[in-house]
Every structure is written in structure tokens, then in C-alpha cells.
Chains A and B, each alone.
Chain A
Amino acid sequence: MEKSDSYLHEMKTGWYRQRSAIRGLVFKEFKIKQGIGRLGLFWILAEPVVGMMVISLLWLVIGRAKIDGVHVMLFIGSGFAIFNMIKNSISSIPQAIIANAALLNYPQVKPIDTLIARFILEMWLQLIAMFLMFFGIFWLLDVLPEFADPLLSLEAIGTALIFSAGIAFPLSVYGTFYVSLTKAVNIITSPLMLVSAVMYSVNDLPVRAREVLTWNPIVHIIEAFRSGLFGTKMFQGHNLGYPFMIGICLLGFGCIAYSVNRYKLAQP
């Protein structure tokens, strides 16, 4: 009395199962973030704001209120917003499989579900934090981005999402097997913010430094985001396709790595 399930039916239940698993995991991740303490959620949302404030104050203290003709708080804030999305894919998302090991005991939960769930939640929180920050700046200082090319900003956010997923995916697979890999990557990338044009404009740099910096794909994303918001001039040789292609390639590599190791990842 075997069930004569059609292929389509199985695919439908498969998709349904995965969707409910991811939904459950997103709720669960959110609850845990909330549960860190009453201030748990506050800190996630406040993180870019605090970073932005500190750096902006430094600029203000040395007497510079505008960078590239944009209010220094908006300029720095926009950099932090994008940078934090990418930073999360290095620091937080690769821990997802290990953190949810107990729940892999449910046949419905696959390791990839924990990654997708954490990715969805982290990115949503970052986007909300970005919105709150811009709103806060507008409320306190009455300055608003001029939205010169909103489509370009959205493109930059989309590229940031793909780039983040591209980093997080392979790092999660191999980071689960080799815990020291995640640690090493975290240490190596800790000065990443300094070379990602978060705190300054590429246009202010000498030509030599600019040439070196443009190798960093994050710089392209942040500059495109700013140009879309404020209409700032992008540096010569700017190409949003560069981080996009790197993201797609890494994502493809991550899919292969996951597919090869998917059963090994589910082992306790």
C-alpha cells in the first residue's frame, strides 16, 4: 500500500515543508534575539546609529560638516547601513547551522533552512535599522537624502544582499566543519571597515590609494548606494556589476559546496 505520489505533488509538499520550516526558524531566531535581554533588539537596531554617531562626531570635531556636499551624518550613516549587512554575513550567518544543531533532529529541518532563516531575519533587521536611522536623522536634524536616483540605491541594496549571501553561504558550509575558519575570517576581515569607504569619500583620496581601494567590491556597493541617495559623483571606473558578479560566483560555489556536503552537515 505504497502511496503513489506524483512527482509534482511531492515537490509541492517539499516546498510547503521547507517554507514552514523556514518560517518557524525565522520566528525562533527572532525570539532568541529578543530574549538576549530587554535591550537585545534595541542594540541590533541601534548598532548602525551608534557607529554613525561616533564617526560623524569625529568629523564634526575636526570641523567638517559635509562630505562630497552631503551632511556628514547622512554620508557616514549610509555607509554603515550597507556595511553592516555585509559584515553580518561574515560574523553571524555562518554560525546558523551549529546554533540550530538540536533542531536538525526534525526531519523537516535541513541545514540550509537555518541559513536561509537567519539570512532573512538579519537582512530585515538591517533594513529596518537603516530606515530608523534615516528617520532619526531627519527628525533631529531635519536633513533628508534628496533621492537623486532611487533605483540605483535599490540596485545597490540588491547587490549587497546577493554579495552577502555569496559570502555567507560557502563560509557557513566550511565554517561548520572547521570552526577555526570562521574565526580566522573574522579576524582577517576586522579592518574591513577601514578600507570600505564607510567613513570617508573615495573622491577625497589620492589617486594611488583610490586605485587600490577600488579592488574592494564593497566600495562599489557603498558608492552606488550613496550616489543613488545623494547624487554624489561616483569615482572613475565604478562598476556595480563587479560586486554583483563576485556575489553570483560565490553563491554558485556555495550551492555546490552545500550540495556536496548536505548530508554531512546534518550529522550531529
Chain B
Amino acid sequence: MIRLENVSKYYPTTTGRHYVLENVSLVIPDMVQMGVLGPNGAGKSTLMRLLAGVDVPNEGKIVRTGSISWPMGLASGLQGTMTGRENARFACHIQGKQYHEIDDIVEGIREFSEIGDYFEMQIRTYSSGMRARLNFAIAMAFDFDCYIIDELTAVGDQHFKEKSARVFREKRETSSFIKVSHSMIELRSECNCGLVLHKGEAKFYPTINMAIDAYNDYLELLDSSSK
């Protein structure tokens, strides 16, 4: 469970504070598959970083129970100058795995990611799809109570999408997911509740359809006001 209590997060800009979240209080229960919706720049990635504990709110507090993954996104978590194998080993180290376990886990990551010889090459030579595969494979090698996924599945090819969907189905029996995506089809099929984020507000909806409807209403409002 993750509970946000009066959380505010802002960035200083030349025109004053830009609020990403303003006085948000909500509870994300255990064992949910939550889709996070919001236009670009609404602060979805910032929210993911806050939930994972990478970033801290300016005001309020976030209470977490259980283990939570790092925010798995495209741009983050992989060091460009390290090879895929070294990145995998590093993740094992910081998850506190013992030495004798690490080789097995890394081998599992190599097989799961299906990037072949690139596993031994530096991350900066990877395409974004390959990064996504490796990032996903590393995260799925560990058991978390909650996985945080930030538009990770958007760039994969068909095969990778099917594979990740299969893993999600397996993992959802024991863990919860918080997922940022712009694909309504994906969210509708995989999530059972939703969160809509805009203009510093975050609203929790108990079903994903309600969340998508609310988001569409908001987009229509935006459309009509710009006409």
C-alpha cells in the first residue's frame, strides 16, 4: 500500500513555483493494477519517482509498505558506459543479493532480455527497444510487492509486447503494478483501476474505464477550449 498525505511537489521556475502535485492525498491499495493517465508534462514521471522513493516531496509525506521497484523507464536506470551484464550485476548488488546467487540471476536476465551479443556491449550502443528489454528483464528478475513502470512497454516490438504482457499476467497474481502508458488499449486490458493527473491534481478511480472516461472528458474540454 502507498499512502500520500498532503503531498506537494513543485519545481522553481523563473515565473514562480510550478506545481506538479498540489496537496494530494490518496491511497493506492495493495494488489491493484493501476494505470496512470495524464497529458505530457503533467508530472507522471515525477509521481513515479516519488512513489518509488527516488525523489522526495516538498511538502507532505508518502507512506509505503512492502517492497517497491525502481521506476522502470526508458531514459533511466542504465549506465551508458557499462555493458548490459555489468548493469545487471550492479542491480543484483544493490538489491543485496549474495555472491553465489548473482551469476544465476544475471544468466536469467540475459536469456529473458533476448538481446544476444549486445548483452556484453555498452548500453550506449543499444537502441531504445533494446534498452527497454534489458531494463524490463532486470526488473523482473527480482520479486517486488509493487512494480513501477514508466512507459517502458511502448517501444518494444510485437514479440516483446506479447512477452511482457505474459509476464504481467503471471506477476499480477502476487504483486501490484503501477503503470504509465498512453496506450488506452493496453491500459484497458491490463489494469483494474486508474489515476488521472492534471494541473497538480491526482484523482484515483476504482475502475480503469472510469479513469479513461474522465481523462477523455478532460481532453475534450481541452480541445473545445482551444477551438
What is the interface of chain A, defined by CB distance below 8 A to chain B?
1-3, 16-17, 20-21, 23-25, 27-28, 31-32, 35, 100, 102-109, 263, 266-268
Contacts and interface: CB of A to CB of B under 8 A. Distances in A.
A20 B81 contact: no
Given A3-B65, A27-B90, A102 B78 contact: yes
B89 A106 contact: no
Contact of B63 (A2, A100, A102): A2
Contacts of A102: 76-80
Please provide the 7 A-B residue pairs with the shortest distance between their CB atoms, ordered closest to farther. Answer: A24-B93, A105-B76, A107-B53, A105-B77, A20-B96, A108-B94, A24-B94
Contacts of A3: 65-66
B47 to A, nearest CB: 14
Contacts of B65: 1-3
A27 B79 contact: no
Report whether over half of chain A's contact residues are helix, strand or loop; otherwise say mixed.
helix
B66 to A, nearest CB: 8
Contact of A28 (B63, B66, B80, B86): B86
B85 to A, nearest CB: 10
Contacts of B52: 107
A20 B1 contact: no
Contacts of A1: 1, 30, 65
A267 B93 contact: no
A268 B1 CA distance: 26
Given A32-B81, A102-B78, A16 B96 contact: yes
Contacts of A103: 77, 79, 90
For A1, A32, A102, A268, which residue has the most chain B Cβ atoms within 10 angstroms?
A102
16 contacts: A2-B1, A2-B63, A24-B89, A24-B92, A27-B90, A28-B79, A31-B82, A32-B82, A102-B76, A102-B79, A103-B79, A104-B54, A105-B54, A105-B70, A263-B55, A268-B76
Contacts of A32: 81-82
Given A24-B94, A105-B71, A266 B55 contact: yes
A21 B96 CA distance: 8
A18 B86 CA distance: 19
Nearest to A102: B79
Given A102-B79, A102-B80, A267 B55 contact: yes
Contacts of A20: 93-96
Contacts of B93: 20-21, 23-24, 27
A239 B71 CA distance: 51
Contact of A100 (B1, B55, B71, B79): B79
B202 to A, nearest CB: 20
A28 B78 CA distance: 12
A35 B81 contact: yes
A106 B91 contact: yes
B56 interface: yes
For A16, A24, A109, A267, which residue has the most chain B Cβ atoms within 10 angstroms?
A24
A266 B76 CA distance: 13
Contacts of A107: 52-54, 68, 70
A207 to B, nearest CB: 51
A179 B137 CA distance: 35
A17 B92 CA distance: 12
Contacts of B76: 102, 105, 268
A117 to B, nearest CB: 11
Nearest to B93: A24
Contacts of B68: 107
